[in-house]
Amino acid sequence: VHLKHLEPFRLSLEKLQDVSARLRKDMIRGLGKHSHHRASVKMLPTFVRATPDGTEKGDFLALDLGGTNFRVLHVRVLEEEQRVLKMDSQICAIPQDIMLGTGEKLFDHIAACLAEFLDSQKLRGQTLPLGFTFSFPCEQKEIDKSILIRWTKGFNCSGVEGEDVVNLLKEAIHRRGDYDISSVAMVNDTVGTMMSCGYRDQSCEIGMIIGTGTNACYMEEMKNVKRVEGEDGRMCINTEWGGFGDDGCLKDVLTEFDEEVDKTSINPGVHTFEKMISGMYLGEIVRLVLLKLTEEKLLFRGCPSEALLTPGSFETRFISEIEEPDSGLENAKKILTKLDLDWDLVDACVARLVCDTVSSRSARLCAAALATIVNRIRINRGLDHLKTTVGVDGTVYRKHPK
């Protein structure tokens, strides 16, 4: 089926190379001492100077906040066997009213869930160090001091932007007064992913997330990190590549559907790249394409259902289900039925094609951006050929069949 509305999603190799070259320029701008404040790709220093060397050991707590759920974990690291034992973990939901309420309520909620977890693990008496994975753009001042630049991915808690997030967490724990933590190390989820893979594979120097949002980090030469003192060694840089294109440099890549997704999002005009790639938005892009094809009488006999007209009704997980190699067509039929659409076999096949087209673009844009980073490391080191490992995480990466 040749559908003109799908053409703009099909990016040629030349276009992808072009996108990669634009990102390269933006990364350099983000690293510059005087240009970084107006860069859309923030290139934030993380103060992480090395990947793990395998001699780390002990008991730790971990908090992971970055999507609709957050996790609390108890981790034991054994030096002898060079391995990490996940002792136990618990997932806590974050209700919508907390995601959009005050910062104080959010951190009280987190502190309460942590307390519950410590009780369930009989850890209440111990004062353990805490690793805090916080997957939002932050201006890191030190490993335990980190200022939120802005919320993304559907969060909008008041009184947190411009504040030190570690401090807000500590204050919430002190307000309770029934337990304590020793030290806090704060990392972005990309850095956490790179570090946890780096524990087993010393050549892992890039971390990438393709989940609710998308982002990547990598090891940069200190001499290129102009806003931190020092010339020696390396530092992990959190690129915050989700903001790539926020200055309008991707105008020619965006489709009318991307523009619509942006307009109706909680943060219009920002995180342009992320909105073409990540799980928070992919389902909505597919819904808008299906709706357009229906309005042009190319699908569902020209009759959209109430569900198809409802923003957010086409969940991103539907894309993964519809693209399953074996059961995909059956899944497509079930999902279209669930959305009250009057479909025939051709409609189900077109729906699969739309999903494939939208997720392929997402994957290719990620690949182009990853290539930019790998080439940067390669050139930094004066190599013709670089062998490195990328640690990857995120629901889209984990769940999508391709």
Q: Which residues are catalytic?
A: 153, 189
Q: Are 146 and 238 in contact (CB under 8 A)?
A: no
Spatial neighbors of 129 by CB under 8 A, at least 6 apart, are 58, 60, 61, 181, 182, 183, 184, 185
- Nearest-angstrom CA–CA distance, 28 and 31: 5
* Cβ-based neighbour number of residue 149 at 10 Å: 16
- Rounded to the nearest 10°, the torsion over CA 359, 361, 363, 364 is 160
- Nearest-angstrom CA–CA distance, 356 and 323: 7
Residue 28: burial class (beta carbons within 10 Å; 0-12, 13-18, 19+)? middle
Closest CA to 196 of 398, 51, 44, 388: 51
For residue 357, give both structure tokens.
């087209």
Q: Are 371 and 27 in contact (CB under 8 A)?
A: no
Q: Is 267 helix (H, G, I), strand (E, B) or coil?
A: coil
Q: Are 349 and 329 in contact (CB under 8 A)?
A: yes
> Strand pairing partners for 70?
65, 92
DSSP state letters, 37-106 = GG-SS--EE----S---S---EEEEEEEESSSEEEEEEEEEETTTTEEEEEEEEEEE--HHHHTSBHHHH
> Strand pairing partners for 72?
63, 90
**Residue given tokens 């002898």 in the structure block:** 80
Cα–Cα distance list, 197 to 201, 218, 247 (Å): 6, 13, 33
Antiparallel, parallel or unpaired: β 69-78 and 58-65? antiparallel
Q: Are 77 and 60 in contact (CB under 8 A)?
A: yes
